[in-house]
Amino acid sequence: MKWYPLKLTSPIRRYTFGGRMIPCVLKKANLPEGRIAETWEYSDEDSAPAMVVNGPLAGTSLRELVMEHPDELVGEGWRGPHFPLLGKFLDATHTLPVHLHADDEKAKELYGAPNGKTEAWHILACPEEGATVLAGARDGVTNEDVRQAALDQDYDRVLRRLPIHAGDTVYVPGGTLHTFGPDTLVFEIQQTSDLAESLMPTDNDDRVLPPEEWRENIEATLRCLRLPPQPNPTHGRIVMSGNNRCTYCAAGPYFMMQRWKLTGPLTLAVHPDQCLALSNLVEPVSLVWPGGTDLLGRAESCIIPAATGQITIVPNGLAYVLATAVPNLARDVVKPLREAGHSDAEIATLGDLSSVLSQT
């Protein structure tokens, strides 16, 4: 089979925190009217499986390709129940609920799921002044403190409120309480999972929960809570490739995210052990690979299978493209950043890199 960039269906979510920033600010095309909280740009999650929409594989589900061609699609030697990355545009016109996602250990123990959900948010737009996130518990906070704060609906009492700006990224390990908004647009990269527990007295449709259900949700949240992680926004670490600029936004064992500012063509090697996913943020760019070419439109995404070999991104003027992958952290993150002059302390701000930094 001759592999090529795979464009996919983009399931939407209409949670009440959403608005119209994805079509109006990001200018993503072909979206329905009404509130749109999320577009899932590449997803193999059970509730929102993506289908290929272009080329010879059109009509094939991402799950089918993962099961039948794991080495060629995801990477040589990779095996798993689903595609490992889920990327989405997320509109927090209104503030998200205070919630968390189970980490791998709790996902397996409490839900029988193959993995939990660590995520990172790249801030695409937010108010110039006063934009914040709540991420992680304050020093000294206990589970009982969180329980009482939830009942009092006083989340700032126990969580860290941090300023953010467009271009920042926040790496959020599984088990970390968090929220952001209002008027904030992000690209989120995460493990493939939709597990979530909330402290809120309402659900995602603003339905007021019966008191006993609310208390049950609080206890479920506390069972998944990890208090040590204290995420901090970072503006990333830069590596130049000619006149093109790569900002390393986030990195850990589950994913890395880069933001490319392109003024000329960029050729990326696609390693046999690693696929890429691309999300274009502004005007259309051309994709060139051995055997073909295509356009990637504004706010459009695609997966570059591991067997593709290489991909060249050709901007028409200035382009901004997000690239995500399941990384070889030593090869893909630590080595190029050290060679660009970044210290290990600076590299560590991107996420969970402690084990690889101590070993290399």
Does residue 231 belong to any structural domain of this protein? no
10 Å CB burial of residue 99 (0-12, 13-18, 19+) is: middle
Residue 6 lies in a domain: no
What integer is the mean pLDDT of 179-195? 98
Q: Could you tell me the pLDDT band of residue 360, with boundaries at 50, 70 and 90?
A: confident
At residue 92, the pLDDT reads 98
Q: How many domains does the chain have?
A: 2
For the chain, give the percent of residues with pLDDT over 70: 100
- Do residues 217 and 243 share a domain? no
Whether 243 is in a domain gets the answer yes
How does residue 249 score in pLDDT terms, banded at 50, 70 and 90? very high
Considering the entire predicted model, what is its pTM? 0.97
pLDDT for position 204: 85
If asked whether residues 193 and 246 sit together in one domain, one would say no
pLDDT tens-digit map of 259-285: 999 999 999 999 999 999 999 999 999
Could you tell me if 127 and 91 lie in one domain?
Answer: yes
**Same structural domain, 68 and 210:** yes
Q: What is the dihedral of CA 168, 173, 177, 178, to 10 degrees?
A: 20
Show the tokens assigned to 236: 């990333």
What is the reported pLDDT for 263? 97
Closest CA to 327 of 67, 85, 59: 85
- Domain end point (choices 224, 246, 270): 224
pLDDT above 90: residue 349: yes
Spatial distance between the Cα atoms of 328 and 237, rounded to a whole number of angstroms: 17
| 19 in any annotated domain | yes
- Check pLDDT > 90 for residue 253: yes
Give the amino acid at 166.
A
Say yes or no: 71 and 169 in one domain: yes
What range does the domain containing 62 cover? 12-224
Give the integer Cα–Cα distance in Å for 158 and 124. 27
